[in-house]
Amino acid sequence: MSLPASASSPRAPVAAFARAWARVVGAAALRRAVPVWTGVMVLAAVVFGGTGMAPRALTAGALGSWRFGAGLAATWLVLVVPVGRAMLEPAPTAWLRALPAPRWQRWAVTAAIAVVVQLPWAVLWLAGEGRAARSPWSRRRR
Protein backbone atom coordinates (compact mmCIF):
# COMPACT_ATOMS: atom_id res chain seq x y z
CA MET A 1 0.00 0.00 0.00
CA SER A 2 1.44 3.35 -1.01
CA LEU A 3 0.87 6.77 0.51
CA PRO A 4 -1.06 9.44 -1.37
CA ALA A 5 1.13 11.81 -3.37
CA SER A 6 0.42 14.70 -1.01
CA ALA A 7 1.46 12.69 2.07
CA SER A 8 4.66 11.41 0.44
CA SER A 9 5.77 14.91 -0.49
CA PRO A 10 8.83 16.11 1.44
CA ARG A 11 6.87 19.26 2.38
CA ALA A 12 3.92 17.34 3.86
CA PRO A 13 5.30 17.25 7.44
CA VAL A 14 6.16 20.95 7.26
CA ALA A 15 2.66 21.86 6.09
CA ALA A 16 1.05 19.59 8.68
CA PHE A 17 3.07 21.19 11.46
CA ALA A 18 2.22 24.70 10.23
CA ARG A 19 -1.50 23.82 10.17
CA ALA A 20 -1.35 22.36 13.69
CA TRP A 21 0.58 25.37 15.02
CA ALA A 22 -1.86 27.78 13.37
CA ARG A 23 -4.81 25.87 14.78
CA VAL A 24 -3.49 25.98 18.36
CA VAL A 25 -2.07 29.52 18.33
CA GLY A 26 -4.94 30.86 16.21
CA ALA A 27 -7.54 29.44 18.59
CA ALA A 28 -5.81 31.11 21.56
CA ALA A 29 -5.63 34.41 19.68
CA LEU A 30 -9.24 34.13 18.55
CA ARG A 31 -10.49 33.60 22.12
CA ARG A 32 -8.86 36.88 23.15
CA ALA A 33 -9.37 38.88 19.93
CA VAL A 34 -13.09 38.34 19.32
CA PRO A 35 -14.22 40.28 22.43
CA VAL A 36 -11.79 43.10 21.55
CA TRP A 37 -12.92 43.21 17.92
CA THR A 38 -16.57 43.16 18.99
CA GLY A 39 -16.04 46.07 21.35
CA VAL A 40 -14.10 48.00 18.72
CA MET A 41 -16.85 47.39 16.15
CA VAL A 42 -19.56 48.61 18.54
CA LEU A 43 -17.52 51.70 19.41
CA ALA A 44 -16.75 52.33 15.74
CA ALA A 45 -20.44 52.05 14.86
CA VAL A 46 -21.27 54.66 17.48
CA VAL A 47 -18.41 57.04 16.67
CA PHE A 48 -18.29 56.70 12.87
CA GLY A 49 -21.88 55.69 12.09
CA GLY A 50 -24.55 57.91 10.61
CA THR A 51 -23.60 61.54 11.02
CA GLY A 52 -20.65 60.76 13.26
CA MET A 53 -16.96 61.45 12.84
CA ALA A 54 -15.25 60.59 9.57
CA PRO A 55 -12.32 58.13 9.88
CA ARG A 56 -10.21 60.75 8.12
CA ALA A 57 -10.69 63.16 11.04
CA LEU A 58 -9.32 60.58 13.48
CA THR A 59 -6.33 59.58 11.36
CA ALA A 60 -5.55 63.20 10.44
CA GLY A 61 -5.63 64.09 14.12
CA ALA A 62 -3.27 61.23 14.91
CA LEU A 63 -0.87 62.30 12.17
CA GLY A 64 -1.15 65.97 13.09
CA SER A 65 -0.51 65.66 16.82
CA TRP A 66 2.08 63.28 18.15
CA ARG A 67 0.35 63.23 21.55
CA PHE A 68 -2.98 62.24 20.06
CA GLY A 69 -1.28 59.68 17.80
CA ALA A 70 0.64 58.22 20.74
CA GLY A 71 -2.57 58.04 22.79
CA LEU A 72 -4.40 56.28 19.96
CA ALA A 73 -1.53 53.82 19.48
CA ALA A 74 -1.30 53.19 23.24
CA THR A 75 -5.04 52.53 23.38
CA TRP A 76 -4.76 49.98 20.59
CA LEU A 77 -1.77 48.35 22.32
CA VAL A 78 -3.77 48.00 25.53
CA LEU A 79 -6.43 46.18 23.51
CA VAL A 80 -4.14 43.81 21.59
CA VAL A 81 -1.45 42.98 24.16
CA PRO A 82 -3.63 40.26 25.76
CA VAL A 83 -4.05 38.71 22.32
CA GLY A 84 -0.30 38.73 21.77
CA ARG A 85 0.30 37.19 25.17
CA ALA A 86 -2.19 34.42 24.39
CA MET A 87 -0.37 33.74 21.12
CA LEU A 88 2.99 33.44 22.88
CA GLU A 89 1.76 31.44 25.88
CA PRO A 90 3.97 28.34 26.05
CA ALA A 91 1.53 25.94 27.76
CA PRO A 92 -0.88 25.27 24.84
CA THR A 93 1.97 24.74 22.39
CA ALA A 94 4.29 22.67 24.60
CA TRP A 95 3.51 19.43 22.78
CA LEU A 96 4.10 21.09 19.39
CA ARG A 97 7.37 22.69 20.48
CA ALA A 98 8.61 19.22 21.39
CA LEU A 99 8.35 18.15 17.75
CA PRO A 100 11.39 18.47 15.49
CA ALA A 101 10.27 21.47 13.47
CA PRO A 102 12.26 24.55 12.55
CA ARG A 103 11.79 27.53 14.82
CA TRP A 104 11.35 29.91 11.85
CA GLN A 105 8.19 28.05 10.91
CA ARG A 106 6.60 28.64 14.30
CA TRP A 107 7.47 32.32 14.17
CA ALA A 108 6.26 32.72 10.58
CA VAL A 109 2.84 31.26 11.40
CA THR A 110 2.62 33.31 14.60
CA ALA A 111 3.56 36.47 12.69
CA ALA A 112 0.85 35.78 10.10
CA ILE A 113 -1.72 35.42 12.88
CA ALA A 114 -0.45 38.66 14.46
CA VAL A 115 -1.03 40.45 11.16
CA VAL A 116 -4.63 39.20 11.12
CA VAL A 117 -5.09 40.42 14.71
CA GLN A 118 -4.09 43.92 13.56
CA LEU A 119 -6.76 44.07 10.81
CA PRO A 120 -9.13 46.48 12.64
CA TRP A 121 -6.24 48.93 13.03
CA ALA A 122 -5.38 48.56 9.35
CA VAL A 123 -9.02 49.06 8.35
CA LEU A 124 -9.13 52.30 10.35
CA TRP A 125 -6.04 53.65 8.61
CA LEU A 126 -7.20 52.53 5.17
CA ALA A 127 -10.61 54.12 5.72
CA GLY A 128 -9.05 57.32 7.02
CA GLU A 129 -6.06 57.73 4.74
CA GLY A 130 -7.16 55.70 1.72
CA ARG A 131 -4.78 53.84 -0.55
CA ALA A 132 -1.92 56.08 0.49
CA ALA A 133 -2.19 54.89 4.11
CA ARG A 134 1.17 54.49 5.75
CA SER A 135 2.41 53.70 9.19
CA PRO A 136 0.92 56.03 11.82
CA TRP A 137 4.47 57.16 12.60
CA SER A 138 5.21 58.37 9.10
CA ARG A 139 4.02 61.82 8.16
CA ARG A 140 2.53 62.51 4.80
CA ARG A 141 3.23 65.94 3.36
CA ARG A 142 0.09 67.71 2.20
CA–CA dist 60, 96 (Å, integer): 44
pLDDT, average across residues 69-94 = 91
Give φ, ψ of 93 to 5 degrees: -105, 10
Q: Quote the percentage of the chain above a pLDDT of 90.
A: 46
Q: Is 37 helix (H, G, I), strand (E, B) or coil?
A: helix
Q: Is the pLDDT of residue 120 over 50?
A: yes
CA–CA dist 80, 29 (Å, integer): 10
Please write the tens of the pLDDT for every residue from 42-54. Answer: 999 999 988 889 9
Q: What is the DSSP letter of 1?
A: -
| Predicted pLDDT of residue 51 | 85
| Predicted pLDDT of residue 111 | 94
- Contact between 24 and 93 under an 8 Å Cβ cutoff? The reply is yes
Q: Tell me the pLDDT band of 142, cut-offs 50, 70 and 90.
A: very low
| Predicted pLDDT of residue 102 | 85
Q: Is the pLDDT of residue 139 over 80?
A: no
- Contact between 128 and 63 under an 8 Å Cβ cutoff? The reply is no
Parse the chain into domains and list their residue ranges. 25-132
